[in-house]
Amino acid sequence: MLTFSLSFDPAQKEYFLGFICKLAGIHIPQNLFKPTMNRLNIKVDNDVTLSTIVFGSLPINFLLVHGLASNALLWNGVGQFLIDQGFSSNAVDLRGHGLSSKPSHGYTHEDITRDLAKVAQHVMSPESTVVLVGQSWGASLVVDFALRYPNVAKGLVLVDGGYFDLKSRFTTWQECEERLRPPDFSGVSFATATKFIATQHPTWSQDAVSATLANLEELGDHTVRARLSLTNHLAILRELYNFTPLDSISRLTIPTRILVAKQEIDLSPDSRKEVDELRNLKHVRFDFFANADHDLHAQMPEEVAQIALDVYEQAQVVA
C-alpha cells in the first residue's frame, strides 16, 4: 500500500480549513485562528503602564473594567464566551491593580477614565461600536467614562454596581471608610487564602477562583498581601463616595443594562428607591439574578456576556 503525508504550517492550515468551510457554507468566527488571550501593556502616563488582556484580536468590541481591589482575570469567562460568538474584548488591570503600575497618585475618576480613554485608543477602531462593561466600582467608572467620552461608549453594562449611592447608605465619609475598609491580610498564608476563596464560592469554576486569588500577591514567606495598597484603596473609595450615580446615569442616552446580584424582592429600601427612579429612564433596563454573588461576571460569565451582546446589538441599531 502506498502512503504519504502532508504537513502544513499554521497559515496554510488556516487557509485550507477556511476554504473547506466556505465551500460547505459554514460560518467561521473572525477570531477562530487567533490567539484567544494575550497580555498587552499600554503606557498611559509617564510612570504608568497598564496591563490588559486582549481576548481575540484587535480591534475590540467590548472594554471590560473590573471593580475595586479586583483584576482583569475575572473577565476570563466573559472574554472567552465573546470569542466563541466572534467578538473581541479587552480587560484592563486599572492603575494600582493586578499587573499594572502602582503609583501613589492618580486615583480620581478623572484620572482613571483618562487611562481608559488611552487604552481605548490603542484597542478600538474609530468606526467600531464599543460597549463598556464594568463591575462594582468599574460600573461607576464606565458611567463616568461615557459622560466624559461620549464618542467612544455606545452602550453600557453595569454589573452589580454603578447605580447605588454610598451617601444614601453612610451619612459621613468616616462611617463609610470604617464600614468598607478592606481586610488586613497580614500573616495569612497563600494556602489559607486559596482555601478560603474556594470555600466562599463553591459553585465557581477553578479559573474564577484562581482569578480572584490574583487580587493578592504571594510574598517570599508564602503569606499574601493585597496588590492594591490600603492608601490607594481608600483614595478610590473616597472618590466613589462622592460619585452621584443617579444624576450621572440620567444624563446618558445610550443603551444601559444594570445587572443586580439579587432578586428584586430582596432589595433594600435604598436600593428599591434607586431602581424605581432609574426605571423611568427609557435607555435603562434592569436584570435581577437569584443566588448570585457580587462578582457576577466570574460566577455567571455566559449570562453576563450574552447581555453584553444584546446591548451591542441595540447600540448598533441606535447608531
Domains of the chain: 37-182+228-318 (3.40.50.1820)
Q: CA-to-CA distance for 90 and 75, rounded, in angstroms?
A: 9
Q: Which residue has the cell 454603578?
A: 162
Question: Beta-carbon neighbour count of residue 209 at 10 Å?
Answer: 17
Ramachandran region, residue 86 (left: φ > 0; alpha: ψ -120 to 50; beta: rest):
left
Burial (0-12, 13-18, 19+ Cβ within 10 Å), 235: middle
Give the cell for residue 17: 480549513
Three-state secondary structure call for residue 48: strand
Q: CA-to-CA distance for 55 and 63, rounded, in angstroms?
A: 10
Give the type of residue at 242.
N
β-sheet bridge partners, residue 218:
224
- Give every residue of the chain whose pLDDT is below 70, as ranges: 1-35, 319
Close Cβ partners of 204 (under 8 Å, ≥ 6 residues apart): 198, 212, 293, 298, 299
pLDDT score, position 15: 46
Please report the sign of the dihedral spanned by the C-alpha atoms of residue 32, residue 37, residue 41, residue 42: positive
pLDDT score, position 8: 40
Q: In terms of Cα–Cα distance, which of 213, 176, 267, 229 is closest to 71?
A: 213
pLDDT score, position 46: 94
Q: CA-to-CA distance for 240 and 112, rounded, in angstroms?
A: 12
β-sheet bridge partners, residue 216:
226
Sheet with 130-135: strands ordered across:
38-45, 48-55, 89-92, 62-65, 130-135, 153-159, 256-260, 284-288
| pTM of the model as a whole | 0.89
Per-residue pLDDT tens over the stretch 38-88: 999 999 999 999 999 999 999 999 999 999 999 999 999 999 999 999 999
Question: Beta-carbon neighbour count of residue 167 at 10 Å?
Answer: 13
Q: Mind giving me the DSSP string for 238-258?
A: HHHHT--HHHHHHT--S-EEE
Three-state secondary structure call for residue 21: helix
Helix axes 230-241, 137-148, angle to 10 degrees: 60
pLDDT score, position 35: 54
Q: CA-to-CA distance for 10 and 301, rounded, in angstroms?
A: 30
Phi, psi (deg, nearest 5) at residue 223: -95, 175
Three-state secondary structure call for residue 205: coil
Pairing of strands 89-92, 130-135: unpaired
pLDDT score, position 204: 95
pLDDT score, position 276: 95
pLDDT score, position 301: 98
Residue 58: C-alpha distances to residues 36, 120, 142 (Å): 11, 11, 20
